[in-house]
């Protein structure tokens, strides 16, 4: 069971907006730490999608955005495209465990 909780799956039609939630605790991003998001396309390595709660690395489309409020974080994807079909992971640091932690991952299906 992951320290950060994500829904196993979400889906949406092309062009729609979807959100992926990530629930933490005050020991990780609900406290002083940030939350980060990664995208893993089928058969490929993960790539950084959002860092520091809501920042996009260069090359990441502005259709992707992140937010955080208390012990909840969200990744939003607008204008959904077929190429967005992937697994998405949230990540933070947990000071009660003294480890870097990931959510269990959410599989996004584009209908």
Name the residues that contact other proteins, by CB under 8 A.
2, 33-34, 36, 38, 40, 44-48, 51-52, 57, 87, 89, 91, 93, 98-105
CB closer to other proteins out of 17 and 47: 47
* 3-state DSSP assignment of residue 82: helix
Q: How is residue 63 written in tokens?
A: 């259709």
Q: How is residue 5 written in tokens?
A: 């909780």
Burial grade of 52 (CB within 10 A; 0-12, 13-18, 19 or more):
exposed
| Least distance (Å) between residue 71 CB and other proteins | 17
Residue with tokens 């909840």, as numbered in its chain: 72
| Least distance (Å) between residue 33 CB and other proteins | 6
| Least distance (Å) between residue 53 CB and other proteins | 11
């Amino acid at each position: 069971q992951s320290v950060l909780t994500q829904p196993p799956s979400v889906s949406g039609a092309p062009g729609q907006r979807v959100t992926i939630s990530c629930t933490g605790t005050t020991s990780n991003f609900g406290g002083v730490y940030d939350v980060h998001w990664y995208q893993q396309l089928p058969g490929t390595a993960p790539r950084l999608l959002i860092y520091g709660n809501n920042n996009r690395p260069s090359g990441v489309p502005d259709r992707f955005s992140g937010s955080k409020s208390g012990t909840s974080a969200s990744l939003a994807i607008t204008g959904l495209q077929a190429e967005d079909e992937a697994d998405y992971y949230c990540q933070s640091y947990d000071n009660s465990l003294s480890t870097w932690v990931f959510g269990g991952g959410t599989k996004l299906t584009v209908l």
